[in-house]
Structure 1
Amino acid sequence: MSYAIIGFGPIGQALASAFARNGIEVSVATTRDPESFTSAAAVIGPSIIPKKLADAVKADIVFLAVRFESHQDVAKALPTWQGKTIVDVTNAYGVPPERLGGQPSSKALAQAFTGGRLVKGFNHLGAAVLAQDPALHGGRRVVFLASDDHDATVEIGTLAETLGFAPIKLGGLSEGGLLLQARGNSWGQLIFKDLVKFD
């Protein structure tokens, strides 16, 4: 299984830190030349591999950590996303609901990634919190997941556990996705909720 993070701002770097903590190799890419962020990747760890966007999107699981408005540019990097799982880490805050066709932001985004399986997740925590070790007080920091594809949810839930988080599945994008989305001037009810699960 191969992994990539598209977007290397604060959230992308926080996700990269989670992979680095566990010694898992992950490609990182932006629309810029990889040389422009090679030093930032090296600071996080040797398992963080800067690549060109066209190469990074070859991964099996792709974390989309770009501005919501940039998702279509990423989607165009491949003619089809068949066989890939996309983790939507974006927030559409400031994007008018009518621009989303009245849909949850993840459903609108999924339409650009033809053939891919989409999971909404890892977006409800701020970058500074997401970057921290998820092991807390004898428990694990929670990440919420929502998807219309059960198998994709299981796959990303297993990865979340490998990264040290406690995944909580919220159902489909029209139910759980609404709790995790930002759009217009509103935030979903679970955004910024920093919870710890004790097993």
Structure 2
Amino acid sequence: MSYAIIGFGNIGQALAKAFARNDIEVSVATTRDPQSFASTAAAIGPQIIPKTLAEAVKADIIFLAVRFESHPDVAKALPNWKGKTIIDVTNAYGVSPEELGGQPSSRFVAQAFTGAKLVKGFNHLGAAVLGQDPAMKGGRRVVFLASDDDGTAEEVGALAENLGFSPIKLGGLSEGGLLVQARGNTWGQLIFKDLVKFD
């Protein structure tokens, strides 16, 4: 299984730290030349591999960690995303429900990535918190996952565990997804809730 993070701002770098901490290789890409962020990637760890967008989208599981309004540009990188899993880490704060066609933001994003399976996740924490070691006081920091495909949610849940987090599945995008989505000037009820699960 291969992994990529598209977007290498604060959230992308926080995710990269989780991969480095667990010695799991991940490609990172932006729309810029990989050389422009190679030193930042190297500072996080040797597991963080800068690539072009065209190279990075060859991965099986892709974290979409760009600004919400940039997702259509990423979607153009492939004509069809069949066989790919997209983890939607975007937040559509400030985007009106009308612009989203009244849909949950993740369903709107899913339409751009034709053929992909989509999981909403890793978006409810700020970058400073997401970048910390998720092992906390004998427990593990929670990440919420929502998807209309149970098998894909399980697969991403297994990855979250490998990265040291405790995944909690919220159900489909129209139900649980709304708890971790922003749209208009409102945040979902679970956004910014920093929870720790004790097994």
- TM-score, with length taken from structure 2: 1.00
Count of matched residue positions in the alignment of Structure 1 and Structure 2: 199
Q: Distance in 2 between matches of 1:6 and 1:184?
A: 24
Q: Deviations over 1:139-166 (max 9, x none)?
A: 0000000000111100000000000000
1:77 is aligned to 2:83: no
Aligned to 1:90: 90
Correspondence 1:134-153 to 2 at 5 A: 134-153=134-153
Helix, strand or coil for the counterpart of 2:113? coil
* CA-CA distance at 1:178 after TM superposition: 0.3
Aligned to 2:110: 110
* CA-CA distance at 1:13 after TM superposition: 0.1
Aligned to 1:99: 99
Q: Which runs of 5+ in 1 are unaligned?
A: none
Q: Distance in 1 between matches of 2:16 and 2:95?
A: 26
Q: Which runs of 5+ in 2 are unaligned?
A: none
Q: CA RMSD in A?
A: 0.3
Q: Distance in 2 between matches of 1:77 and 1:30?
A: 11
* CA-CA distance at 1:176 after TM superposition: 0.6
Helix, strand or coil for the counterpart of 1:97? coil
* CA-CA distance at 1:77 after TM superposition: 0.1
Helix, strand or coil for the counterpart of 2:151? helix
Q: Distance in 2 between matches of 1:27 and 1:198?
A: 31
Identity of aligned pairs, percent? 82
Moved beyond 3 Å, runs of 4+ = none
Aligned to 1:28: 28
* CA-CA distance at 1:45 after TM superposition: 0.2
* CA-CA distance at 1:42 after TM superposition: 0.4
Q: Distance in 2 between matches of 1:44 and 1:26?
A: 12
Aligned to 2:18: 18
Helix, strand or coil for the counterpart of 2:38? helix
1:124 is aligned to 2:93: no
Q: Distance in 2 between matches of 1:16 and 1:81?
A: 23
* CA-CA distance at 1:60 after TM superposition: 0.1
Q: Distance in 2 between matches of 1:58 and 1:98?
A: 33
* CA-CA distance at 1:44 after TM superposition: 0.3
Q: Distance in 2 between matches of 1:129 and 1:14?
A: 8
Aligned to 1:68: 68
Aligned to 1:193: 193
- TM-score, with length taken from structure 1: 1.00
Q: Distance in 2 between matches of 1:78 and 1:24?
A: 25
Q: Distance in 2 between matches of 1:67 and 1:151?
A: 27
* CA-CA distance at 1:79 after TM superposition: 0.7
Aligned to 1:184: 184
Q: Deviations over 1:57-96 (max 9, x none)?
A: 0000000000000000000000100001000000000111
